[in-house]
Amino acid sequence: TLMVEPLALKDHTGENEIFLQRMLICSSILGVLALFLLARFFYLQVVQFDVHSTLSDKNRIQVQPLPPIRGLIYDRNGELLADNLPSFNLTITPERVDDLEKTLSHLGSHLNLTGEDIVGFRNRIKRRQRPFEPVPLLFKLTQEEIARFSVERHALPGVEVEAKLIRNYPKGDSVVHAVGSVRRINEIDARRLDKVAYSGTDHVGKIGVEKFYEQDLHGTVGYQQVEINAQGKIMKVLESNLPSRGKDLVLHLDSSLQAAASRALGDRRGTIVAIEPKTGGILALVSKPAYDPNLFVTGIDHKTYAELRDSEDVPLFNRAVQGQYEPGSTLKPIIGIAGLVTEVINPSSTIHDPGWFKLPDSDRLYRDWNWRISGEGGHGEVNLDKAIYRSCNVYFYDLALKIGIDRLDDYFSLFGFGLNTALDLPEARTGLLPTRNWKLSARGESWYPGDTLNIGIGQGDMLVTPLQLATAVTVIANRGEWIAPRMLKSGSELISQSSATKSDSLDRIPDSVWSLMIQAMEKVVHRGNQEFGENGTAWAYIGQDIEYRMAGKSGTAQVVGIKQGEEYDAEGLEERQRKHAWFVGFAPVESPTIALAVLIENGGGGSEVAAPVARAVLDHHLLGVKTGSLQALAAGGERL
């Protein structure tokens, strides 16, 4: 028989228990996960609500700086010297560009993009203050360039044409050394400038008035809060805080006089500084050659800059305030004043001038300007009055030696030499006022009598700037009232009238001394038709038909030395080795409205060359004559 196993019946109860256990475990796991998700949701939506709301807004909302409009600069008659013109710039926002290198390459194939442009662009990226800030690539786009970009714009996300105001100088090179200029902010500027105040600003005042009054001209930055889409396009402005424009400035400068002075100089290297005696206001400040400041506003190319920088005529150099020259005979009125006040001489004191001067126990001849190898020269009997209008060197050799270098230095400093007295010309230099201590410190040598003789005729180690010399003659025109020179007439509180006057020590000079010196300087121009050739040194060149009374003093300053026993021969020297020509003066004598200093580098004689230039400027100021009455000067303007 076969054995049959019993059938095993299904255990439904056990399976149900297992199923329930598994369901319970799964439900527990799912419950825990749900609780975790709810907790996370609560944390993100409730606890971290402010944080994530802010992050969301940062993606959606941006704060953009609104640069202020730079203040304008006017001359005393309301003519614009510096304004702002609209310019279209090509900008790139790197965060919105997928491939920056590809974008630059694409732009380079359609626009005039150079290696310099790309280098400058990369540097500006490094200097920007915040992400998503557009960075300029090209400035001052032409209409043709804008049209070419518009055709390709769809393929260039993050690239835009942006309209901005940029600095413009309507009068170009004629006022650059007077007004200064702005230039693009570089890495050095970025480190020193306030990052918030200069957000969105590309330029800063670098020289002159633009630099000194930067705080006033710049203005206050504003901001706007904008909503953007995923492509970075502005959808709407949510909130704005408008910028405050910079202050407008009015200068003492007279554009018409500035132009007349520039025409009078012509193509010659030199400078003219004209000051209004009663205010210290600088009416004209011309330095030639010059350059167009507009070249620097949006960035000058290397080739053009190299030509300016390496030019033998150094157009970037402001001769009026940075040039330091020997003053020559223009210093003699101050030495004469020192002699009278110290009572070393009186108005009737005389010497005999044979044409040369010698120190005791010395064979060296210190010569007068009219000395000749043949033995001719000299001025005979000379008092102070004649020594000024004939510019007698021998008289001032003798006088300087009697006064002594220590007292001379004291009086020179009263007139501003060796000091920077300009209130708002940041590039102004101090010149050099040599003293015993200076020579000992600089050269390890003692001061010798011969050094004093050289100073007596404005030669040797003494150096002055044309601005300093114009300031000194202004003091004479004011009969001792010192008013520091300044460019600003109104618009800023950075300089005040209280800081302008420095007349304490000049009180020691009595009015009779001022009168005597002014009369002698007047004879330089107006004394003529005299016997024995004793006319004023400038009479033959500017004094014969002059319509007003003018006081002046000519001067020449040697560039190269002359050996003992040799005469000065301009024709035998290269042009840049010839003497510098000076002339200082003021007019009208009774109530001066203008004082000036004229320097023509390597021009030759001060009376022959510099005096006619001064006369042309004074004619324009006093008579309204465009180029002065000396048409030969205007017709030539050639370098001597």
What are the distances in angstroms from CA 22 to CA 10, 29, 344, 401?
19, 11, 125, 121
CA angle 478, 588, 79 (to 5 degrees): 90
Which residue from 543, 474, 492, 552 is spatially nearest to 519, judged by alpha carbons? Answer: 552
Distance CA 484, CA 487 (A): 10
From the list 623, 610, 619, the residue with the least C-alpha distance to 584 is 610
The residue to which tokens 């650059």 are assigned = 176
Q: What does 154-166 look like in DSSP terms, one character per residue?
A: GG-TTEEEEEEEE
Among this protein's residues, is 498 annotated catalytic? no
Tokens of 592: 């001066």
Count of other CB atoms within 10 angstroms of residue 128? 16
In 10 A of CB 561, how many CB atoms?
Answer: 8
Q: What is the C-alpha separation between 394 and 412, in angstroms, rounded?
A: 20
Q: Which residues in 279-314 are b (16+ Cβ under 10 Å) and which e?
A: ebbbbbbbbbbbbbbbbbbbbbeeeeeeebeeeeeb
How far apart CA 358 and CA 27 sit, in angstroms, is 122
Catalytic residue among 87, 256, 329, 629: 329
| Cα gap 544→45, rounded to integer Å | 96
Chain Cα centroid distance, residue 594: 23
C-alpha closest to that of 505 among 337, 357, 326, 361? 337
Question: What long-range pairs does 367-373 form, CB within 8 A, spacing at least 24?
Answer: 367/393, 368/392, 368/393, 368/394, 369/393, 369/556, 371/567, 372/567, 373/565, 373/566, 373/567
CA 336 centroid distance within chain? 34
Cα 389 from Cα 349, distance rounded (Å):
16
User: Under 8 Å CB-to-CB from 86, ≥6 apart: which residues?
Assistant: 163, 164, 165, 166
Radius of gyration (C-alpha) of the chain in whole angstroms: 38
**Surface-to-core class of residue 473, CB atoms within 10 Å of its CB (0-12 exposed, 13-18 middle, 19+ buried):** buried
Catalytic residues: 329
